[in-house]
């Protein structure tokens, strides 16, 4: 649905058609975010154009399509896409829609193909996107069929960092390298710590009846664990200490790119993300000494590349009486409607992991996270019930409160880039996320990514 | 995947017919099990499982038929007795929010097929399952698929323990919020 | 969805974004109401702001939460709410949404609780709404967490009449006492006739695929009975006389607050609402002589407190060959979408009723009304099929016809307040309802409730 | 509620097994009954009920498990033989609009469990029910739950009458317009 | 939902509320049609007013209601309608909505009735639409109930050609005769070829999750067959020649009224639409010699009366090894939402057909077309996947390509009316369809139907 | 319609009871058949049908009950052995797009009733069917109704062939895209 929301130059604010200005109802600096933006369909439609048609989005990991012709189907933003390695070995991402009549060209989740033939009329594309043959070509008169320009529609830009493939539909977007900026330092810390990481198997995908931002908001939130996952506290599988996950650092690497790095119990087991010694030993080769020192103090980390891509580097146990085991999980929220979101979740493993560790990491992830995970399932319940409570005309006049740490001083001693804050309980990261959201919603690219939390 | 080949091999054995006592007892056993789940009697439910239980629900993907049925190397559930016990103890706390307050589930056991390995005496039971769920004031959600159980005789041979359970879901995208439900 | 509907001061009408003025398509004085307003999503969205965020809504009956800590979850307007008796015994109504991240704080239909703890991060509220503890409080810097002002959001105003609890989200709304005005006289007649009434058990709740106003329109409509419930005529359970329910009075107590009072067969059995003698004997103690005389002539009554709360005081039988038995039923329509509505239905019983009568009244209600009732189920069929026939672009250009009784003279002899009309077949009540609807849709509170049917 | 305790007591009796004649006859009886309902043969359907029939569907609410299963003191149906007869006669008029023209329902009888009280000879049958409905050009609506029947032998003992029926629905909010359907 | 889309006189284009002009994104002359118009809800809402409230729509065939009182329920545009033969034998079409409160008056798919009684309050209408009795008539005061003017709402205009009944809700629409214009020549060719055609049985109806125009676009598309129905090529049931269905003529009879006439294999079997000799022999009696000569060269024909009515005159086989048999199929798309469409499909048979031929034609249709047809089911898959690939904010910025035959010269030798093109592979017909769509969306009736493809 | 009268006549025969061997064998046969369909083993599935098979699904309309059940003179399926073979061969090409990639269907066989014509030995089996479908990443679609089969003994009499199948759907408007699914 289109809307008449517009930026009025006269007063320089973004007004919804009801006259409400986004600037009035979303005030990240004060930690006040209106419930309205989480469920409103006009805001949702604006997001499609201003965020999902413009931003950088995670597509997948290089390791998912190792061989020429390997192909999986994905979403880029909210558009269906093909993530393929072409016959030359180059990674490409295309809109999954035939240039002719718009048919989904690839209709499986995964296959290996040198060319893709559209079922409708048979247009055939090479896996590098070129149009090989149209249908009934001889029936086009001269000049009617510009085959050169009718290949699959590629994303406007594609970028890879640590094997993580991102893409944007916007040619005006800054290059990925600039977009990630100081976040690369932390992506390296997580994804480049050893001789590389790879995706295990296939992602889990499931739909949750939630506005997408309720899910997104949850990922760098460390202090929900004690309550939201209190069943595990009750079972003795999490420390019975409300502050247990607070002894770390929260970082705003760039506006909207946010993370925390948090130590576990003060034992060697929880050092270096809990990785096996063999993998720990690889770190100095791949990380700077500063990063290695940082990694030593990390058992738990979550980060968000704005807007909807997250990593979870966690240690947990899915089994009473068993030790915590680390795993590295990637997450993506793809909005389906104002109140429905598709969740994607991948498990990564260090390529040099031993089989026993890989198995333990795999089983721990599956048991604790993903739709059947004994942690994750309660998160979804929260997102859905937040959504349902934010739909009515009374509720949407009220703000959520993200005020924790508004006055917290910067941790000037932090060696890494970005704005760091001691104590990994806080809402600095979410405020930064909503600041970035406001930039996207109200500005063009030129001013969408400068500055920090004011 | 290899586990599919195994399941298919079992399905090739001659069927134990529905009018037989053995089929009747297995049928009763599976209905009893379903009832325990729907009545939140989880501890009793787990007693029906062997301590060696392998409990698994693989992730499915859409693939061309020539490429297989779409079960690849990933799972939604990969549980053993101790992890099922953990799930159940968790549900018994008052803090497992996805099921507090509890969903109302209904497990429909349908199309039971039973085979028996003459040598080992092990039974393989497969059903079509339909599980409906409603919680709070929400409309129905639904799960369907085939469930393969390996059963071993228990006690005097008139009851059973589930020694392996493989749950093959029909959906590639679980459209029902989460898998806080057991199968 | 937001809209650009607005009141244009220049021509002083409320225009939809298509340019259509509500004043043109809704003309209660002429009995012409456009099908458009029953299913249109822009009208629905306007209703959310202009009606459901501003009006007075029925929440429940005091007897539903007799003990301190008793709590049931409800809707107030279209927002989720908690209806609770606090530890001091005071009745309170709150938005069911945590001040922190908006989570539904109470997630059951009923419980008894001294405090409510939010599952997400654990904020705990006392049952009087005060915030007891937030999460990770020590991680807030000074001034970041204003606990005093972060209690559960109460309704703006709460009012009780005859144990019926009403609430509004609008601080500008007139007090309930003023809002009900002359309707109190009739509420007293029904709810204060004996030593009090109380709710039996729990409400029935069900969803109907109808625009909410098709249901609302039906409640004071007495002349649908002969056709809509003709199956009961056929079985001899209703008189085979199309005029059988017409011998009463329709009253517009205040604009939008409407009712009818209708006698049954001219026998003692149908006098005094058909109540047992013991209860009839209580009337003089609680009602004025004028009201007692009025009650004597009532077997059937239905009334609406604008917009969506109704009583049904009826006598019927769910069983072939059995006598009619009275019951008192409360109804509420809560819109879910332009074409979907949640129905709530409560059964009340006089507190001094004998068990046998209570049982008979209960069984009669359950068998005849509610979703399985042999009367009610046919009403829902009508509402749904009215809705489906009003969706198309041709249908919505045409008006429904509520013209019966436009020229009917006032019954000047009527002793009670309000505008009364002899003959309880007529559409005076609905016209008044739509007049009130127009006031709410087009005006502020100052002019939303004066005047009468012109 | 007390009726739940009663139903639970019956469920504790040893099961009549699926391969037995008694289970077979009850199964046939219940399928026959379902067929009559779906075929609008209401008068024949009612003949399967004892004149003492207590037919009840309680309202359900969402409550914490510690507070019970959510069946409180209210019902959607509380019928006896005469009121069921009234419903049926009503459906046979041409004016019961909720079912004129008629819905198309399908009653799926699943997971039958049967117990027999040795002393009284009374049978208790419980099933998982799935009832689908479509009417006019509308999409499906659905009802699920557990149904408990008390059966008494009829005639030569090879058939039965339903003496009590308790329908425990899974939903707290009936999302399907109305309950013009019988269960 | 209403919108603020409007035609701005200043720049004379139709702008969506986002500012996008339809004229920019739909350019039939260039063969460029934006994906946006297929799934956008603002466009959908505009279509309701500008197309479905104004156009001429197929209602049914006279033979479906042969006897007085025969009645079937239909859609006219997107409004529910009653298609009835009154007691005088006259065919009438009414809005299926009671004048009183809007109830669906007729609630079956088919019945025979002299009058229709509304269930809600019992208003009774004669089958010619007149209001016979209202409810509680004696309770209306004088002048309150204008029975003369409260009959069922008839369509504004009704027209019949070759037994095909069309209707419009718009009194300003040109008469059907003018609207069809030169299309009548071809309708005659198909529907008046023998001693008449009649509907067999009842239509098949099913819902497809597609924007309606994706389905509509497909009907005169001849060159999709080789790919979309390639399974039949593989089985040897269609020629293994991509050009096999190209040897005919495409005709734009009037802007938007389009068709193709295509020969089959060059044998007598495929001449004269493959009809049995007995029926072929009737042709000279009913058609002009020119038309007979045309019919001789037709095995396959599809045509569209703008916007959503189609015929399919085809020869096919549903059975391996069996000969092709002809059938005549009528199709209609009724939009339900931007992404959902109800499909109607009727089978016609020549009234003088022998029973064996009728049976063969019937079985062939059922096996090959309709929802279970081995051809048709793959078409629906295409429409759904086109729809799903056209929803996102990236996709909707791109156009579909309908460029085949843009420069194709007119076939000046064509004897029939309209603009004809040799070669029945081409997108001339669809471009004409979208030109008509643009006229309807942007103009009033006066200029909605002149001119041709520029 | 006449075929309905025929089906009704068969249903009047005395039931073959669920605990009998014959019922058991028919039950097993129908479950086996359902499994073949859901596993895309179409050629094996067709082997369960007599070469004389009449396979039919009539179109349904909403009518008043007094005017009948709404089955008029039109069909969604009207197949014989050769046309079923054609459908199956088509599904085995890689170009039957409605099923390429394949849907995941689940055929639930429920409420089996069986009668036997003592003279001819022919069996009439009727079930309530629920068929669920999901394909690609889409949510569930659903089909329900009654299916009537005429079965003839095959081989040594312990198995069967389906000689006639009549599928009576509950919907008048198929809300599930198409009927690329077999029943
Ligand atoms: S839509 Fe792809 S070839 Fe026509
Ligand atoms: S949302 Fe309630 S405590 Fe955070
Ligand atoms: S709505 Fe038809 S009579 Fe009232
Ligand atoms: Fe969490
Ligand atoms: Fe009524
Ligand atoms: Fe086609």
**pLDDT value for A318:** 95
Task: Examine the pLDDT at E304 and tell me if it is beyond 80.
Answer: yes
| Ligand at shortest distance from the CA of E118 | 3
With a Cβ cut-off of 6 Å, ligand 3 is lined by E 98, 100-101, 103, 118, 120-123, 135
CA distance A104 to chain F (A): 12
Query: Among partner residues B95, B97, B101, which is closest to C108 by beta-carbon distance?
Result: B101
Helix, strand, coil content of chain D in percent (nearest 5): 30, 40, 30
Low-confidence ranges of chain A (pLDDT < 70): 1-11, 446-454
Task: Examine the pLDDT at B73 and tell me if it is beyond 50.
Answer: yes
- d(Cα E85, Cα A293) in Å, to the nearest integer? 88
**pLDDT value for D72:** 81
Q: Which residues lie closer than 8 Å to E49 by C-beta, 6 or more apart?
A: C18, C393
pLDDT band at B75 (very low <50, low <70, confident <90, very high): very high
**pLDDT value for C450:** 42
Q: Ligand 1 pocket, A100 CB below 6 A?
A: yes
Helix (H, G, I), strand (E, B) or coil at E46: helix
**pLDDT value for A7:** 57
**pLDDT value for E7:** 58
> Which of 96-125 (D) contact F at CB < 8 A?
100-102, 104-110
The model scores a pTM over 0.95: yes
C119 to chain B: which residues are within 8 Å by CB? 95, 97, 100
Task: Examine the pLDDT at E447 and tell me if it is beyond 80.
Answer: no
Q: What is the mean pLDDT of residues C185-191?
A: 98
Ligand 1 atom with least separation from CA of A102: 1
More reliable by pLDDT, C443 or B43: B43
Q: What is the mean pLDDT of residues B36-47?
A: 98
CA distance B183 to chain D (A): 15
Task: Examine the pLDDT at F6 and tell me if it is beyond 90.
Answer: no
- Which residue from D minimizes the CA distance to C383? D177
Q: Ligand 1 pocket, A122 CB below 6 A?
A: yes
Mean pLDDT of chain D: 95
Check if B27 contacts D (Cβ < 8 Å).
Answer: yes
Write the DSSP string, chain F. Answer: -HHHHHHHHHHTSPBPPTTSHHHHHHHHHHHHHHHHHHTT-HHHHHHTEEEEEEEEEEEE----GGG-SSEEEEEEEEE-HHHHHHHHHHHHSS--GGGSSPPEEEEEEEEEEEEE-TTT--EEEEEEEEEEEE-TT---EEEEEEEEEEEEEETTTTEEEEEEEEEEES-SSB-SS---S--
Strand partners, C160: C165
Task: Examine the pLDDT at C449 and tell me if it is beyond 50.
Answer: no
E187: enclosing H helix or E strand: helix E183-191
Distances from the Cα of E98 to the Cα of A113, C228, E152, F63, angstroms: 58, 14, 7, 20
pLDDT band at E8 (very low <50, low <70, confident <90, very high): low
In degrees to the nearest 10, what's the CA dihedral of F176, F179, F181, F182?
A: 130
Instruction: Give the CA radius of gyration of chain D.
Output: 17
Instruction: Give the pairing of strands C204-208 and C340-350.
Output: antiparallel
- What count of Cα atoms within 13 Å lies in the side-chain half-sphere of residue E224? 23
Question: Per-residue pLDDT tens for C27-38?
Answer: 999 999 999 999
More reliable by pLDDT, B31 or F158: B31
Query: Among partner residues F95, F97, F101, which is closest to A108 by beta-carbon distance?
Result: F101
What residues pack around ion ligand 6 (CB closer than 5 A)?
Answer: E 379
Write the DSSP string, E293-340. Answer: HHHHT-SEEEEEETTTEEEEEEEE-SSTTPPPEEEEEEEEEEEEETTE
User: ipTM value of the model?
Assistant: 0.96
Task: Examine the pLDDT at D111 and tell me if it is beyond 80.
Answer: yes
Instruction: Give the pairing of strands C164-168 and C157-161.
Output: antiparallel
Q: For chain E, which residues lie within 8 Å of any Cβ of chain F, measuring from their own Cβ?
A: 107-111, 200-209, 228, 230-235, 237, 318-322, 342, 347, 362-363, 366-367, 370-372, 374, 376-378, 380-382, 384
Angle of helix A183-191 relative to helix A289-296, nearest 10 degrees, comes to 70
With pLDDT > 90 as the criterion, what percentage of chain E qualifies? 94
Q: What is the mean pLDDT of residues D132-161?
A: 95
- d(Cα D107, Cα D142) in Å, to the nearest integer? 10
DSSP C246: -
C237 φ, ψ (degrees, to nearest 5) = -95, -10
Write the DSSP string, E85-143. Answer: E-TTS-EEEEESS-TTT---S--SSEEE-SEEE-TTT--EEETTS-EEE-SSGGGSPTT
Contact D83 C319 (CB under 8 A): yes
Q: What is the mean pLDDT of residues D22-28?
A: 97
CA distance E143 to chain C (A): 8
- Pick the residue whose CA is nearest to atom 4 on ligand 2: C121
- d(Cα E373, Cα F87) in Å, to the nearest integer? 9
**pLDDT value for A453:** 35
**pLDDT value for D156:** 83
Please, are residues F134 and F141 in contact by the beta-carbon 8 Å criterion?
yes
**pLDDT value for A1:** 32
Task: Examine the pLDDT at C256 and tell me if it is beyond 60.
Answer: yes
- d(Cα E305, Cα D10) in Å, to the nearest integer? 67
Task: Examine the pLDDT at E449 and tell me if it is beyond 50.
Answer: no
**Residue whose C-alpha is closest to residue E182's, from E93, E251, E267:** E251
Question: Per-residue pLDDT tens for D32-51?
Answer: 999 999 999 999 999 999 99
Question: Per-residue pLDDT tens for B86-127?
Answer: 999 999 999 999 999 999 999 999 999 999 998 888 899 999
Task: Examine the pLDDT at B150 and tell me if it is beyond 50.
Answer: yes
**Residue whose C-alpha is closest to residue A183's, from A416, A339, A384, A447:** A416
Question: Per-residue pLDDT tens for C400-411?
Answer: 999 999 999 999
Question: Per-residue pLDDT tens for C81-115?
Answer: 999 999 999 999 999 999 999 999 999 999 999 99
Buried b (16+ CB within 10 A) or exposed e, F9-27: ebbeeebbbbbbebbbbbb
- Which residue from B minimizes the CA distance to A232? B90
- d(Cα C393, Cα E45) in Å, to the nearest integer? 9
pLDDT band at F1 (very low <50, low <70, confident <90, very high): low
Q: Which residues lie closer than 8 Å to F64 by C-beta, 6 or more apart?
A: D94, D100, D101, E108, E111
Q: Ligand 1 pocket, A104 CB below 6 A?
A: no
**pLDDT value for A12:** 78
Contact D136 E107 (CB under 8 A): yes
**Residue whose C-alpha is closest to residue C386's, from E92, B40, E96:** E96
**pLDDT value for B155:** 83
Please, are residues E164 and E54 in contact by the beta-carbon 8 Å criterion?
no
Strand partners, C159: C166
């Amino acid at each position: 649905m289109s809307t008449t929301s517009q930026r009025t130059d006269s007063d320089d604010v973004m007004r919804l058609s009801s006259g409400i200005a986004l600037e009035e109802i979303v005030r990240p600096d004060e930690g006040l975010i209106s419930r309205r933006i989480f469920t409103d369909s006009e805001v949702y439609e604006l997001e499609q154009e201003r965020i999902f048609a413009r931003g950088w989005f995670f597509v997948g990991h290089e390791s998912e399509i190792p061989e020429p012709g390997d192909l999986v189907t994905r979403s880029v933003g909210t558009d269906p896409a093909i993530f393929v390695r072409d016959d030359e070995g180059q990674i490409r991402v295309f809109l999954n829609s035939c240039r002719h009549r718009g048919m989904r060209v690839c209709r499986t989740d995964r296959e290996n193909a040198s060319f893709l033939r559209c079922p409708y009329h048979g247009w055939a594309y090479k896996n590098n996107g070129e149009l090989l043959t149209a249908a009934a070509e001889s029936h086009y008169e001269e000049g009617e069929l510009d085959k050169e320009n009718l290949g699959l529609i590629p994303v406007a830009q594609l970028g890879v960092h640590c094997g993580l493939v991102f893409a944007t539909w916007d040619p005006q977007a800054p290059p990925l390298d600039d977009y990630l900026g100081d976040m690369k330092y932390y992506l390296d810390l997580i994804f480049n710590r050893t001789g590389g990481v790879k995706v295990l198997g296939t992602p889990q995908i499931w739909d949750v009846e939630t506005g997408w931002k309720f899910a997104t908001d949850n990922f760098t939130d460390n202090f929900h664990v004690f309550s939201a996952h209190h069943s595990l506290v009750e079972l003795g599988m999490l420390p019975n200490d409300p502050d247990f996950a607070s002894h770390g650092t929260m970082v705003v690497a760039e506006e909207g790119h946010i993370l925390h790095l948090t130590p576990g119990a003060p034992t060697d087991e929880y050092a270096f993300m809990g990785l096996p010694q063999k993998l720990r030993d690889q770190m100095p080769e791949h990380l700077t000494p500063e990063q290695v020192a940082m990694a030593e103090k990390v058992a738990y980390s979550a980060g968000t590349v704005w807007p909807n891509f997250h990593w979870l580097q966690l240690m947990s146990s899915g089994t009473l009486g068993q030790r915590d085991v680390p795993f590295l999980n990637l997450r993506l929220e793809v909005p389906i409607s104002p109140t429905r979101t598709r969740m994607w979740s991948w498990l990564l493993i260090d390529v040099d992991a031993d089989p026993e560790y890989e198995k333990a990491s795999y089983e721990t992830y599956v048991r604790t996270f993903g739709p059947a995970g004994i942690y994750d399932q309660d998160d979804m319940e929260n997102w859905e019930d937040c959504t349902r409570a934010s739909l009515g005309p009374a509720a949407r006049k009220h703000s959520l409160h993200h005020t924790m740490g508004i006055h917290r001083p910067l941790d000037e001693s932090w060696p890494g880039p970005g704005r760091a804050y001691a104590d990994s309980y806080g809402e600095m990261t979410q405020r930064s996320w909503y600041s970035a959201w406001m930039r996207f919603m109200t500005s063009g690219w030129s001013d969408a990514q400068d500055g920090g939390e004011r | 995947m290899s586990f599919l080949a195994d399941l298919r091999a079992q399905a090739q054995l001659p069927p134990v017919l529905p009018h037989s006592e053995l089929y009747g007892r297995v049928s009763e056993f599976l209905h009893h099990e379903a009832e325990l789940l729907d009545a939140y009697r989880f501890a009793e439910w787990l007693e029906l499982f062997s301590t060696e239980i392998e409990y698994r629900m693989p992730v499915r993907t859409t693939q061309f038929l020539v490429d297989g049925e779409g079960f690849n190397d990933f799972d939604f559930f990969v549980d053993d007795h101790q992890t099922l016990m953990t799930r159940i103890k968790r549900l018994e706390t008052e803090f497992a929010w996805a099921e507090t307050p509890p969903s109302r589930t209904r497990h429909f056991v349908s199309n039971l097929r039973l085979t028996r390995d003459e040598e080992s005496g092990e039974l393989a039971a497969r059903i079509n399952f339909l599980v409906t769920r409603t919680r709070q004031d929400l409309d129905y959600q639904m799960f369907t698929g085939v469930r393969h159980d390996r059963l071993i005789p228990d006690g005097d041979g008139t009851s059973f323990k589930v020694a392996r359970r493989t749950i093959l879901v029909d959906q590639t995208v679980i459209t029902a919020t989460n898998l806080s439900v057991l199968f």
